[in-house]
Amino acid sequence: MSELFRPAAEWELQSMIARLAREKRGIEVVGHGALRNTGRVASSDVVLTTSGLKGVTLYEPTELVMSARSGTPVFEIEQILAARGQMLAFEPVDLGPATGAPGGALSIGGVFATNFSGSRRIAVGSARDNLLGVRAVNGRGELFKSGGRVMKNVAGIDVARGLTGSWGTLAVMTEVTFKVAPLPQTMQTLAFVGLPDDLAIEALGIAMATPLEISGAVHLPKNCAERLKVPKLKGVGQSLTLLRLETFSTSIDERKEKLKTALKVYGNPIELDPEETFGLWSEFRTLSVMPFSTDTSLWRISTLPTKAPEIVAAIQKFMPSVAFYDWSGALIWLEVPAAADAGAADVRRAVAVRGGHATLIRAEPEIRSTVDVFEPLKPEIERLTRGIKSAFDPSGLLNRGRMYANF
Amino acid sequence: MPHIELPEPDVGVLRRLPILIEGLKSRVGKDLLIVDEDGRRAYETDAFTAYRRVPMLVVLPRTTEEVSKILKYCHENDVKVVPRGAGTSLCGGSLPTEDSIVLCISKMNRVLEIDYANRLARLEAGITNLQITANVAGEGFFYAPDPSSQLACTLAGNLAMNSGGAHCLKYGVTTHNVLGVKMVLIDGTVVEIGGSALERNGYDLLSLVIGSEGQLGVITEATVKLVPAPEGARPMMIGFRSPEAAGNCVSAIIAAGIIPVAIEYMDHAAIEVCEAFAGAGYPLDVEALLIVEVEGSESEIGILLGRIAEIAARFDPKTVQISADADQSARIWAGRKAAFGAIGRISDYLCMDGTIPLAQLPHALTRISQICAEYGLKVANIFHAGDGNLHPLILYDANDPEQAANAEIAGETILKLCVELGGCLTGEHGVGIEKRELMTTQFSPTDLAVQMRIKTVFDPTWRLNQAKVFPLAITDVMRAGDAASTPEAA
């Protein structure tokens, strides 16, 4: 068991990292542990958790802005927001349950460190897009800030957004400031039944090209749709293509009719009321259609929507799989049988030919230590990446090996 | 006298100029070079016109490959490069130095690919902002960021400055609407950062590049998101007796869960000038005017504007007017977008670009009036109320050196005020030379060191767009080309 550091304040976190940096001791950075079974396994001498840095430090509902210490659990933030009729619009995804880690343990720092956003990303942008500012401590033990609390801020290099998706390898965020949004007044879902993947993605694309502000565009092939829990869709026994509308109650019916007209050729959809809609899309927040199992591995593939069905079909030639298309096809969650390389060779080849990149989300720790978890970088990008790592963390102490084997 | 310091030119480089010209000619041909003084003079300034420096050479490449050859040559020969799009920067972001080569990518303006199925377009970066939308409007799409200079400004400049616009409350700014760029580093290496997928692979280098003001590389191509055009849009105008009432009204609209596509605020001085220019029907007897625009179908627009009017009624508005037709809508926006030009017809002005938390608006406006009055100057205020971006326009006479100097000092004082109030130095125009020295009011030495180290990763010898963004005094050694000297500790 590594030595555990649990700072209770920003200054304490800074002084701990400064000391560890002087001693050149490797630091694994964690929150409450929601992401510990995801990504490569960091090699470290000590563990530093942000779980002691909790609490909302600023909330201005009429300016749509909130600041919170990085260890604040997302569910606490969402409760505070809901009490004022607001939300985190980008619907952070809690990977805990799908990866065998605890559920409900996702911290707001982890959300921005991974930039894993949920279904509403297609309408409101990613976690990164909604980030306004950070305070953080880099691997030199320096406390710095970037961005601020206002929506627009172009003073200097956008370090705050540059830290998103860096998995704690550049700096440990101590406080984040982000946009919040009003909860939609009402919501409904249209579920088209039985479409093959390519037609489903086409239908989602048509919906996304309308001005109806679609806030969720998901396709579940039959073997994935069967895993849904929402009663109305549970027993359908066919693929489901799901479109969520969220707006004012005065507009929802008008928009629904327009959407049905635009997608007439794809059949008559099942309609879900607001309560059913809420239940359905909540399932995606915890990836419940991709339940934890040691018999399978889970990939996350980012690509062009029109290429997504081809990628899934290409991989299926080599192994059985279960796909969950989100973001109208721009994101694929793909479950494949557990194997020595978690299917990496075939997955990466299928993606490389068609464009995009794949991240291994779930596999045994030994596999995540031997295959590339993140898509390997092109040489010139790797050079810049190493440069950035070295600028923030010259001794390579923070989450060493968490993203890439060599740094 | 304008008082922003510009570094002394390196006479050694100027002496080598004939050799450099021959060298570049042999690599990219003479047709791309502007050598004669009259030709170069066209590039001596941008829209921050108080400062002018004729560059020693201008190059107008047509391809990424040519950009790569030019930068590689400049790198090998230790020549400074100032990247330039259309030269519409309001902060001196593309101001040359006398010992630099201006690399202007305005000839690279082709549309490379439009992919409606995936809702994206790949473009050469010299294309103008408005031209992107012009190419896709027929299919019902548009490119969302809409800076007021969108007729002239290039995508490259928008990327460099992370430009916003009046409609970014709903659609975001440049960084929210770009998927990837092709960029040439100072040593000539061509890198693809981001791509066409929604998610980035690895570190989010694209976030570092967008808004980096030409400090990291020269962007030659970009892939941008295309957004479906709304069914319809209509503005309404609400006139108030006080800035407080207008500010409170904005808060109440947002508290009601309504996010209009734009909320623009104009003070009395701005209303008068814009009305004289555009004849938009702005009310002239109010202290503050909100232009609130909503989008949707005809019935949705009607309902939303009705609700906003109800909310506004709580703040005792003097006038509430919903745009009657497309023609009036166009004039309402034409007046607002022409504000800078309209004010420019009656006076020279400095356009400031701070941001403030909305709640601070009344206090900020009072202080701005006081600050300008102290220097005997008038001011008109335009404010993107939804996102806190405040544009005080300080009026002065450029022929009066004392007024010009006072305007700059008043401007600096206003920006410091914005930072004090919890805002920032610049919401969408960038730092350039104008706000370079003020960066220390917003950022600690460590904050700046963190940014400067990123610059050094991309541009180790600091040859790109020197003497901008970072305070001169702390960049002396790096600008002299000593990469190892990037601050190790603050």
For residue B488, what pLDDT is reported? 54
CATH number of A186-285: 3.30.70.2190
User: With an 8 Å Cβ cutoff, are A126 and B388 in contact?
Assistant: no
Highest CATH level, class, for B233-339: alpha beta
- Interface probe for B, chosen from A14, A22, A134, A150 (most Cβ of B below 10 Å), is A150
Give the residue on A whose Cα is nearest the Cα of B214. Answer: A157
A186-285 shares its CATH topology with A296-370 = yes
Of B291 and B335, the one with more pLDDT: B291
Q: Please, which residues bridge with residue A272 across strands? A: A189
Which candidate in A60, A86, A87, A152 is best for mutational testing of the B interface (most B CBs within 10 A)? A152
Q: What pLDDT does B340 receive? A: 80
pTM: 0.97
Same fold, B233-339 and B348-437: yes
Pinpoint the alpha helices (H) of A131-173. 159-163
Q: What's the confidence (pLDDT) of residue B481?
A: 75
Cα gap B419→B443, rounded to integer Å: 10
Counting residues of chain B whose pLDDT is more than 90, the rounded percentage is 83
How high is the pLDDT of residue A51? 97
Report pLDDT digits (tens) over B170-183. Answer: 999 999 999 999 99
Please tell me which of the candidates A64, A154, A202 has its beta carbon nearest to residue B211: A154
> Amino acid letter at B482?
D
CB A401 within 8 A of CB A365: no
Q: Which residues pair with A301 in a beta bridge?
A: A332, A358
> What residues does A269 pair with on adjacent strands?
none
Quote the CA–CA distance of B364 and A379 in Å, as a whole number: 49
- Residue B2 pLDDT > 80, yes or no? no
* R_g over Cα of chain A: 21
Contact A205 B357 (CB under 8 A): no
Per-residue pLDDT at B265:
94
Specify the 3-state DSSP secondary structure of A70.
Answer: coil
B348-437: which CATH number, 3.30.70.2740, 3.10.129.10, 1.10.10.10, 2.60.40.1180? 3.30.70.2740
For residue B417, pLDDT over 80 is answered with yes
Handedness of CA A72, B250, B130, A205 (dihedral sign): positive
Domain ranges of chain A: 1-183+376-407, 186-285, 296-370
Contact: A151, B299; criterion CB under 8 Å: no
Average pLDDT over residues B387-408: 92
Split at pLDDT 50, 70, 90, the class of B490 is very low
Provide the mean pLDDT of chain B: 93
Give me the residue spans of the domains in chain B.
Answer: 11-104, 111-228, 233-339, 348-437, 445-485
Residue B1 has pLDDT above 80, yes or no: no
Question: Which amino acid is present at B259?
Answer: I
State the average pLDDT over residues B61-79. Answer: 97
| Predicted pLDDT at B278 | 83
pLDDT band per the 50, 70, 90 thresholds, residue B50: confident
pLDDT of residue A259: 98
pLDDT digits (tens, 9 = 90+) for A263-299: 999 999 999 999 999 999 999 999 999 999 999 999 9
- CB-nearest partner of A154 from B161, B195, B386: B161
Identify the band that residue B487 occupies on the pLDDT scale cut at 50, 70 and 90: low
Q: What is the pLDDT of residue A190?
A: 98
Q: Looking at the domain A1-183+376-407, which fold is it? A: 3.30.465
CATH of region B11-104: 3.30.43.10
- For the A296-370 domain, the top CATH level (class) is alpha beta
For B307-324, what is each residue's pLDDT tens digit?
999 999 999 999 999 998
CATH topology for the B111-228 domain: 3.30.465
- Write out the DSSP string of A250-271: TTHHHHHHHHHHHTGGG-PPEE
The pLDDT of A351-376, averaged and rounded, is: 95
In angstroms, the Cα distances linking A317 to A195, A302, A334, B250 are 20, 20, 14, 56
Which residue of chain A comes nearest to B212, CA vs CA? Answer: A157
- All residues of chain B having their beta carbon less than 8 Å from the beta carbon of residue A166 are 203-204
Nearest to B294 by CA among B327, B241, B254: B254
Model pLDDT, residue A147 = 95
Number of Cβ atoms within 10 Å of the Cβ of A347: 26
3-class DSSP state of A92: coil
Higher pLDDT, B138 or B387: B138
Secondary structure of A23-64 as H, E, C letters: CCCCEEEECCCCCCCCCCCCCCCEEEECCCCCCEEEEEHHHC
Q: According to the per-residue pLDDT averaged within each range, which of A118-132, B264-278, B393-407 is highest?
A: A118-132
Q: Could you tell me which of A322, A198, A330, A218 has the C-alpha nearest to residue A272?
A: A218
Residue B83 phi/psi, 5-degree rounding, is -70, 145
pLDDT bucket at B332, cuts 50 / 70 / 90: confident
In the stretch 188-227 of chain B, residues with CB closer than 8 A to chain A read 189-193, 195-205, 207-208, 210-212, 215
Task: Give the span between the Cα atoms of A328 and A331, in whole angstroms.
Answer: 8
Residues B229-240: what's their mean pLDDT? Answer: 96
Residue type, A306: T
The stretch B205-213 carries a mean pLDDT of 98
The secondary structure of chain A in percent helix, strand, coil, rounded to multiples of 5, reads 35, 25, 40
% of chain A surpassing 70 pLDDT: 100
pLDDT classification of B3: cutoffs 50, 70, 90: confident
Percent of chain B with pLDDT over 70: 98
Q: Do A387 and B210 touch (CB under 8 A)?
A: no
B439 touches chain A (CB under 8 A): yes
Are A62 and B176 inside 8 Å of each other by CB? no
The pLDDT, as a whole number, for residue B489 is 41
